[in-house]
A and B are shown apart, each in its own frame.
Chain A
Amino acid sequence: MLLSNEQMERYSRHIILSEVGAKGQKKIIDAKVLIIGAGGLGAPAALYLAAAGVGTIGIVDADNVDLSNLQRQIIHTTPDVGKAKVLSAQETMNAVNPHITVNTYHEFVEASNIMDLIAGYDFILDGTDNFPAKFLINDACVLAKKPFSHAGIIRFKGQLMTYVPGKGPCYRCVFREPPPPEAVPTCRQAGVIGAMGGVIGSLQAMEAIKYIIGKGDLLTGFLLTYDALKMDFRKVKLPKVSSCAVCGDNPSILKPFDYEQAACKL
């Protein structure tokens, strides 16, 4: 299938790039990306991926839009308060780009649904805010051999890494298991600058695009950390851990499981 005139014009700033071209744009249009969490990270990522023409985008989120979300979750607007985040996100994404398909999943990710959720997608974005979900996404993606982008933000800081099956460490290689509830502050307790979601969520979208077009170096084997107050970006090298419980040589985690602690009881 050739690109239509409308598509040629809409994506002209992509197509003019030697790394993308019509061929790369076709890959983007054929790609399927799942975004878990339509919040601070997922909102900007979803907007950029929709605008870029990613043909199928899934959004998973069980929440409704709250007034306190609007300081950073730029996919939702004031009239959306009270609406399911997945529907609000879908409307904005289709307003930006009516040619893409947005699949909505108004639910939490759990061990019981995660394998089915990720099965139909090429790349997964973790935009969740709690550690049980982050470990669940990691384990499921490792087990299903799906590439994914992990990210987290708090206060003036953010971080991300990219897992690609067979290449480099997973999230569990670095962090092993979730900290106890309340041991590590959350955004709700500690706050976050809205633009932090824009910086880090956009970097997640960038990783997805690079993976789709097959160009450049992904953040595999590195954790990128961003300190906004010091205006400092650093790439910290991550070793692969052969004893990792899910991606190591003798894994003990053979299927996804839920941690006991509530997903986010705050």
Chain B
Amino acid sequence: MKLTVTGNVKEYADGLTVAKLIELEKVETPMYVTVSVNDEFIASGTFEETVLKEGDSIEFLYFMGGGQR
């Protein structure tokens, strides 16, 4: 199936979960990433059970703290 991951369309295996996608995409600090699917946030405790489907658009949002010191 085709998914749009951070703006790029790629082919993935059917039945992929958000948790598995985080692993495949080598997301940094996976424990603390915010994930949206089709512009809705996915609760952090439900990554394992959230199954993606054809055409979904996924974004990863990261804590970014620097800027002062």
Q: Spell out A's residues near B (CB within 8 Å).
A: 37-42, 61, 63, 69, 127-131, 134, 151-154, 157-159, 174-176, 179, 183-184, 186-188, 190, 192, 197, 200-201, 223, 234, 236-239, 241, 264
Contacts and interface: CB of A to CB of B under 8 A. Distances in A.
Interface residues of B, number: 21
B9 to A, nearest CB: 14
A141 B36 CA distance: 25
B44 to A, nearest CB: 8
A61 B32 CA distance: 28
30 contacts: A38-B68, A39-B67, A40-B68, A42-B68, A61-B68, A127-B67, A128-B68, A129-B65, A129-B69, A152-B64, A152-B67, A154-B65, A174-B61, A176-B44, A179-B29, A179-B31, A179-B63, A183-B32, A184-B32, A184-B62, A186-B69, A187-B65, A187-B69, A190-B66, A201-B67, A236-B59, A237-B36, A238-B36, A239-B39, A241-B41
Contacts of B29: 179, 183-184
A241 B34 CA distance: 13
Name, among B32, B39, B66, the residue most crowded by chain A CB atoms within 10 Å (CB to CB): B66
A175 B65 contact: no
Given A159-B64, A234-B7, A264 B69 contact: yes
Contacts of A184: 29, 32, 62-63, 65
B27 to A, nearest CB: 13
B40 interface: yes
Contacts of B59: 236-237
B21 to A, nearest CB: 16
A236 B34 contact: no
B18 to A, nearest CB: 16
Interface of B: 6-7, 29, 31-32, 34, 36, 39-41, 44, 59, 61-69
Contact of A129 (B34, B44, B66): B66
Chain A facing B: main interface SS:
mixed
A134 to B, nearest CB: 7
B68 A127 contact: yes
A174 B67 contact: no
A158 B64 contact: yes
A238 B63 CA distance: 15
A238 B59 CA distance: 10
Contacts of A63: 68-69
Nearest to A266: B69
A131 B32 CA distance: 13
A174 to B, nearest CB: 6
B68 A41 contact: yes
Contacts of A129: 65-69
B40 A239 contact: yes
A154 B64 contact: yes
Nearest to B63: A184
Contacts of B6: 234
Contacts of A130: 65, 68
A24 to B, nearest CB: 28
Contact of A187 (B7, B31, B41, B67): B67
